[in-house]
Amino acid sequence: MASIETAAPRGATFSDYYESVVRNVERVIQGKRDVIELMLLCLVSEGHLLLEDVPGVGKTNLAKSLATSIECSFGRVQFTPDLLPSDVVGLTVWNRADNTFDFRPGPVFNNVVLADEINRASPKTQAALLEAMAEIQVTVDGTTYPLTPPFMVIATQTPIEHEGTYPLPESQLDRFLMRVSVGYPSPSAELEILDTHGDHDPFRDIGPVVSNADVERMAAATRQVHVAPSLKAYLVDVAQATRRSTHLALGVSPRATLALQRVAKARAAAEGRSYVMPDDMKALAVPVLAHRLLVTPEAQLQGISPADALGEVLRAVPVPGGH
């Protein structure tokens, strides 16, 4: 494995590590700093990311560049209708030499796992990934195998193709800390992509800038960030408002409120603060909460999306002063 290059200085803070990783990934993914930051916040919040967008906008490169930047192992699974659970988590095979069963780990035994086109696999195979995401472990033939932290699943799906797909159930969508759309690059960013990617592999230019241990320290620092009681009450008010909204058939769960609090703490740490502000929660509400919401049929007919309904809720709930 390549040695760590252009790493954050000795005695670096959370912000130093954070900025080092973001800048490194930007050498591969141009013009998408906001998406890169959300992905990194998801990692240090010990969550999983769902990237939903059209083909060719850099979803795979985004995941691969993150794994390269943090000096960790990377595994990719191309989900297809005939993919089996054992293709994801691994299987036990008979070792004739030793007269024993040996476990052969699957690609989920990596730090960063790209589940490409996850909605093309059967629900049974999707469920095989669920235990790993929820418990940071897998069970094969009655034996449980722990996964090595940091562990993050980055799943992709294309919203424009529905034939031959198996939509993720609400229970599995709720396991993703965030859902993010990459989007098309700006004209200037696309010109830069033509210059840097045209006849050159950008991954040759990047290497790890932080270690696994650094990521673990970042996650630990995130847990130390303070959330004032008034902000916790605000978070509960937002959750209650989604459950009462006439545009929503399904509001956010307690797991969702915990998720938003966790990511807000990571954002505060990234900005060099030891406390969460209301802006942290408002900035992250859509990527963390919107995919957990279900609009009513009437709202759908009116063209109201979960993000629209959530925006109405955020505008209606009073924001506490101070922190």
What's at 278, amino acid-wise?
P
pLDDT digits (tens, 9 = 90+) for 59-95: 888 989 999 999 889 999 999 999 999 999 999 998 8
* DSSP letter for each residue of 118-185: GGGS-HHHHHHHHHHHHHSEEEETTEEEEPPSS-EEEEEE-TT--TT--PPPHHHHTT-SEEE---PP
pLDDT of residue 196: 78
**Reported confidence tier of residue 6, pLDDT bands at 50, 70, 90:** very low
Token couple for 141 = 């033939």
**Reported confidence tier of residue 165, pLDDT bands at 50, 70, 90:** confident
Q: CA–CA separation, 285 vs 251, rounded Å?
A: 13
CA distances from 180 to 92, 99, 158 (A): 36, 48, 12
What's at 113, amino acid-wise?
V
Residue closest to 310 by CA, chosen among 227, 137, 291, 187: 291
What's at 145, amino acid-wise?
Y
Q: Where are the domains of the chain?
A: 14-216, 224-316
Averaged confidence pLDDT in the chain: 90
CA distances from 230 to 16, 31, 185, 238, 240 (A): 29, 36, 39, 12, 15
pLDDT of residue 43: 96
Task: Check: CB of residue 302 under 8 Å from CB of residue 265.
Answer: no
The CATH number given to 14-216 is 3.40.50.300
pLDDT above 90 covers a percentage of the chain that reads: 66
Residue closest to 71 by CA, chosen among 261, 260, 206: 206
Task: Check: CB of residue 285 under 8 Å from CB of residue 238.
Answer: yes
pLDDT of residue 11: 63
Does 10 score more than 70 pLDDT?
A: no
Query: What is the assigned CATH class of domain 224-316?
Result: mainly alpha
- Decide: helix, strand or coil at residue 98: coil
Residue closest to 60 by CA, chosen among 74, 40, 41: 74
For the four alpha carbons of 116, 109, 179 and 36, in that order, the dihedral sign comes to: negative
Q: CA–CA separation, 238 vs 256, rounded Å?
A: 11
Q: CA–CA separation, 173 vs 192, rounded Å?
A: 34
55 or 231, greater pLDDT: 231
| Burial bucket for residue 182 (CB in 10 Å: 0-12, 13-18, 19+) | buried
Does 37 score more than 50 pLDDT?
A: yes
**Reported confidence tier of residue 9, pLDDT bands at 50, 70, 90:** low
pLDDT of residue 3: 45
| Burial bucket for residue 188 (CB in 10 Å: 0-12, 13-18, 19+) | exposed
Which ranges of the chain would DSSP assign to H, the alpha helix?
Answer: 14-26, 33-44, 59-69, 85-89, 123-135, 170-173, 187-197, 212-223, 229-244, 254-270, 278-289, 297-301, 306-316
pLDDT digits (tens, 9 = 90+) for 85-102: 999 999 999 888 888 889
Q: What is the DSSP letter of 205?
A: G
